[in-house]
Chains A and B, each alone.
Chain A
Amino acid sequence: MSAQVDRRRKAERIRTLLETEGETVQENVAHLNQGRYDAMERFDDFEALRTAAREIKAEAIENLPTLIETLRESVESNGGTLYLADDAADANRYISEVAASKNAETLVKSKSMTTEEIEVNAALADVGVEVWETDLGEFVLQVADESPSHLIGPSLHKSREDVAELFNQVFDPEEPFETAEELTTFARDYLGERIREADIGMTGANFVLADSGTITLVTNEGNARKSAVTPDTHIAVTGVEKIVPGVEELHPFVELISKSATGQDISQYVTMLTPPVDSPTIDFERPDEPLGSGDGEREFHLVLIDNGRMAMRDDEQLRETLYCIRCGACANSCGNFQHVGGHAFGGETYTGGIATGWETGIEGPDAASEFNDLCTGCSRCVNACPVKIDIPWINTVVRDRLNRETAPSELSFLVEGLTPDAEGSLSAPKRFFGNFETLAKLGSATAPVSNWLVDLAPVRTLMDRYLGVAPQRELPTFQRDTLTDWFESRRPRLPNADADRTVVLYPDTYTNYVHTERGKAAVRTLEALGAHVELATPIESGRAPLSQGMIATATAQADAVATDLDPYLAAEFDLVVIEPSDLAMFRREYRKLLDEDDYERISEHSYDVMEYVYGLLSNGASTEPLASPDAPVAYHSHCQQRTLGVDSYTEAVLDELGFDVVTSDVECCGMAGSFGYKSEYYELSMDVGEALHDQFTDAGDRTLVASGTSCTEQLTELFARDATHPVELVAPDGRT
């Protein structure tokens, strides 16, 4: 039963974070996320520069060994030193030696995740060097003795009140601090003193230029500038992946990083230092001598950290993690992260969606096991990432690797037969959620008994205990008559003689066994608009196993789908899909699962059902046979549908038919496939859903409409009334 205990603990931890940090995190992260959307909107070159940035990173990582050597020559010819550290211990040893050689007593640091990764502060404390964080967020954490909760806003889980309370307690000022101004002034003066006294300044680097040895720091406060040039000795610590060839390659990143991170067009300071810098040394002990007149000399050390990165470079799946510029946009765009923050959604050092890649590469996959499940694969981060990393895929790959490490549960007989052999060592819940299709077939074949059965309290208790299915959730009601049964019952039917389009409709598992009405509505709508419709064989697309990290099973299902669709696509049928998460499989994930030709063909010919309706209407089909509005609508588009950019078609069609529509703009409904069904994530899922609920509070009795099954279920639960798929709204009346 220990798995259930684990799940309870996890649920408890998440609950505590939701209560203590959730609100502040949500406010700050949502603000950053909105800033990014606004900045992208203002900036025409965004897509072109993302493409350029990705290419630059891909090439730089490919040529990394050469770039390191070029950089070494540049740094040395400038008069600095480059040290390539194998791991954290090696880096810390070198840094401690430099500190010892300067008889350093104090060191000031500007914000750097890489130094968090190697825990340099502790290493320096061990050799008697006092370290001060000069970034205000990092300073707050240093005082509070906490770890960062966000890549760029390390203390964004703390509100002004939290910081005031902390500072009042620790620094005991005569007048208690209250406002953000007071706190900032105090911290600035306090740290200003530390900077003036410091023997060494330490910074990270956002980008390093190989051909000149220039390091780039992107900051807002000015502390990095001060830390780098006030003490005579400067140590920059950064990962090897930060190197780009030269200044030409820097430009896209300067444009992208702040817009992605905070929504600023450009950060306050983009500092490009080619150390040792020309700026004069500053000796505060000789206050009236002109700057630079003392005998101080500038010294510079660049410590490049490998710490698992070169191995990541050799790992085909993890490699693109190294393209990451740590802007935090993937965290900001993530529904789960917005609610729970990096203390749950993060590992030893790194937070957010990409943390899975970083932690796995640096510490090993186990470091990601605690939080990796928080990525639901909703894909909202995919368009946010300035270097176009497929973050959900990295999460899937690591989940797959973790699955393979887990010892088979002694309870796996419960779900025996649910999993193909390819993934024999899976835990019972993974098998259960990953094999929804088998379950659905069984449930449908035995309906309504299966539905009565799972409604029984003792059964739900067992499902919670052994399978991790949240007892609060209503389970899908399986239909005895599947969509396929209905479709077959309409035969024999001749091809529609007037049809100018031929369509193969994909009956996803939910549509076929649970929500058959939306399938029938889709068929009737397409036919009414003049298309001839055939139904593909109901084979699960692979979405369910993929969401559990079962890549082999997903691949086998993708192959089966491809084989089934082949004759249709060869005959130039258009593939129409009702469930957005399956459309996303066809258009996105199949790239990873199928060979290129199959992928190209399926992705190119697949359409969201409302996208297709829009197309038919634009090509002259009459709206006349379609239903006219009988009530106003509140529409929530699906996360993956938005990533694919097809959500607008639904709105356009509803508009054209005269519906009065309000829409939501939350990133995800919180249900995200099977995520919201899991016992340990139920509360988080409902917390995320709350945001959606809030957006529709004024919706009154509008018809609730959502494109995805999970969104439909979540809306139903949140509002305690039914939600429907848009195609059911527009479908012509009639049952056959």
Chain B
Amino acid sequence: MSTSVTQRFESSLTDIGVSITRTESEAFASTLDSVVTEPAVGVPLEGYGGVSLSDTVVETPPTPRLLRTAQTGVTPVSKAIAEYGTLVLDSDAAGTEPVSLYPPTHVAVVRESDVLPDVESTTDHLAERFAVGGSSVFASGVSATGDMGALVEGVHGPTNVDVVLLTDQ
């Protein structure tokens, strides 16, 4: 991934109030532990090389109780969009969708090679997903509403979103 795309991604995240922590695979577990607030629930990082939640404070598999009580939900991210700081969350049987949605903080683990420049460049990924009945969500920043007369963050979805960027993947 070109540095300019990553830079764009980082500045877009900053614009929408999402913090970013860079790490290499080797330091992943300790980095993640420093980012999450416990209790934390997570979805296994399927297909990520050499990193796993098993040596972190994050509990798996997700249960309904954890969805309700966890302070943090940790999920993989299939793609990210540099232009808007968007995370592409693929729905899966392991529960990426509810785990990214229920706890007040969502920590998204992004591989740098998955950062794409813009919305249009995600079309191929989405087409592949939808063709086999898959679902995906573009999530950009924290949930918000203006319906109570002023902008409030953290409505039905998370109040905080943090990205952990794996710079060597």
Interface residues of A (CB under 8 A from B): 28, 78, 134-137, 139-140, 153, 155, 158-163, 179-181, 183-184, 187-188, 191-192, 195, 209, 211-212, 214, 220-223, 225-226, 229-230, 246-248, 250-251, 254-255, 265-275, 277-280, 282-284, 286-292
Tell whether, in the assembled complex, residue A188 and residue B156 are in contact, meaning their CB atoms are under 8 Å apart: yes
Q: Are A247 and B130 in contact (CB under 8 A)?
A: yes
Cβ contact within 8 Å between A280 and B135 = no
Closest to B127 in A: A247
Contact A265 B84 (CB under 8 A): yes
Give the interface centre of A223, A251, A291 by most chain B CB atoms within 10 Å: A291
Partner of B93 from A137, A195, A292 at Cβ < 8 Å: A292
What per-residue 1/0 map shows which CB atoms of B82-123 lie under 8 Å from chain A?
A: 011010000111111110011000000000000000011001
Answer whether residue B136 sits at the interface, using C-beta atoms and an 8 A cutoff: yes
Chain A residues with CB below 8 A from B130, complex form: 209, 211-212, 214, 246-247, 272, 274
Q: Are A291 and B135 in contact (CB under 8 A)?
A: no
Contact A271 B137 (CB under 8 A): yes
| CB within 8 Å for A291 and B143 given contacts A136-B148, A225-B97 | no
Main DSSP-derived SS at the B contact region: loop
Which residue of chain B lies nearest to A141 when distances are taken between CB atoms in the complex? B147
Task: Give Cα A187–Cα B156 distance, bound, in whole angstroms.
Answer: 9
Q: In the docked arrangement, what's the CA distance between A222 and B159, Å?
A: 11
A-B contact pairs, 10 of them (CB 8 A): A134-B156, A153-B146, A214-B130, A221-B143, A222-B158, A269-B140, A272-B135, A272-B137, A278-B133, A288-B65
Which of the residues B91, B94, B147 comes within 8 Å of A273, measured between beta carbons?
A: B91
Query: Nearest chain-B residue to A24 (Cβ)?
Result: B149
Task: Verify A161–B137 contact, CB threshold 8 A.
Answer: no
**Known contacts A163-B149, A254-B119, A266-B138, then 5 further A-B pairs from the complex at CB < 8 Å, ordered by chain A residue:** A153-B146, A251-B120, A251-B123, A268-B140, A279-B93
Q: Which of A180, A248, A278, A287 contacts B148 (CB 8 A)?
A: A180
Contact present for A191 and B139 (CB under 8 Å): no
Residues A279 and B95 in contact in the complex (CB < 8 Å), given A223-B156, A267-B140, A272-B130: yes
Report whether A180 and B149 are in contact in the complex, using a CB–CB cutoff of 8 Å.
Answer: yes
A288 to B63: give the CA distance in the assembly, Å. 6
Query: Once the chains bind, are B91 and A254 in contact (CB under 8 Å)?
Result: no
* Bound Cα distance from A270 to B135, whole angstroms: 11
Q: Which residues of A contact B63 (CB under 8 A)?
A: 287-291
Interface size on B, residues (CB 8 A): 53
Q: Which of A134, A222, A250, A277 contacts B135 (CB 8 A)?
A: A277
Whether A284 touches B149, Cβ cut-off 8 Å, given contacts A251-B119, A268-B140, A269-B157, is no
A284 touching B64, Cβ below 8 Å: yes
CB-CB < 8 A to B133: which residues of A? Answer: 78, 212, 274, 278
Do A158 and B64 touch (CB < 8 A)? no
Min C-beta distance of A474 to chain B, whole Å: 40
* A220 surroundings in chain B (CB, below 8 A): 143-145, 155
Q: Is the CB of A192 within 8 A of B156?
A: yes
Do the beta carbons of B145 and A277 come within 8 Å of each other?
no
Q: Measuring CB to CB, which residues of chain B are less than 8 angstroms from any residue of chain A?
A: 61-65, 67-68, 83-84, 86, 91-98, 101-102, 119-120, 123, 126-127, 129-131, 133-152, 154-158
**Is there an interface contact between B135 and A155, defined as CB atoms closer than 8 Å?**
no
What B residues does A274 contact at CB under 8 A? 129-130, 133-135
Contacts of A28 in B (CB 8 A): 146
How many CB-defined contacts (below 8 Å) exist between A and B? 191
Check B93 against A222 for contact (C-beta < 8 Å): no
List the B side residues contacting A222 at CB < 8 Å. 101, 143, 155-158
Residues of B within 8 A of A191 (CB): 156
Instruction: Report which of A159, A181, A266, A291 forms a contact with B119, defined as CB distance below 8 A.
Output: A266
Residues A287 and B135 in contact, CB atoms below 8 Å apart: no
A283: B residues at CB distance < 8 A: 64
User: Do B139 and A268 touch across chains, with their CB atoms under 8 A apart?
Assistant: yes
Report if A223-B67 is in contact (Cβ < 8 Å); known contacts: A246-B127, A277-B91: no
Cβ 8 A contact of A184, one of B91, B96, B141, B148:
B148
Q: Are B64 and A287 in contact (CB under 8 A)?
A: yes
Give the residue name and chain of the A residue nearest to B62 (CB). Answer: A291
Bound CA–CA A140/B150 (angstroms): 14
B150, A160: Cβ atoms closer than 8 Å = yes
Query: Are A136 and B155 in contact, with the CB atoms below 8 A?
Result: yes
Q: Which residues of B contact A188 (CB under 8 A)?
A: 154-156
A184 touches B152 (CB 8 A): yes
**Residues of the B chain whose Cβ atoms lie less than 8 Å from the Cβ of A135:** 147
CB pair A180 B152 closer than 8 Å: yes
A456 to chain B, nearest CB (A): 50
**Nearest chain B CB to A525 CB, angstrom units:** 48
Contact indicator A272/B64 (Cβ below 8 Å): no
Assembled-state Cα–Cα distance A275/B91 (Å) = 11
Are B155 and A273 closer than 8 Å at their CB atoms?
no
A336 to B93, CA, bound (A): 50
CB-CB nearest in chain B for A265 = B84
Counting chain B CB atoms within 10 Å of each CB, the highest count among A153, A162, A214 belongs to: A214
Contacts of A181 in B (CB 8 A): 152
Residues of A within 8 A of B158 (CB): 222
The answer to whether B157 touches A247, judged by C-beta atoms less than 8 angstroms apart, is no
Which B residues are CB-close (under 8 A) to A271?
135, 137-138
**Distance A161 CA – B146 CA, assembled complex (angstroms):** 13
The answer for the CA separation of A280 and B101 in the assembled complex, in Å, is 13
> Chain A residues near B157 (CB, 8 Å)?
221-222, 225-226, 268-269
Residues of chain A within 8 A of B137, CB atoms compared: 225, 269-272
Cα A643 to Cα B118 with chains together (Å): 30
A226 cross-chain contacts in B, Cβ below 8 A: 101-102, 156-157
Contact of B98 among A183, A192, A279, A288 (CB under 8 A): A279
What is the bound-complex CA distance between A326 and B123, given in angstroms? 24
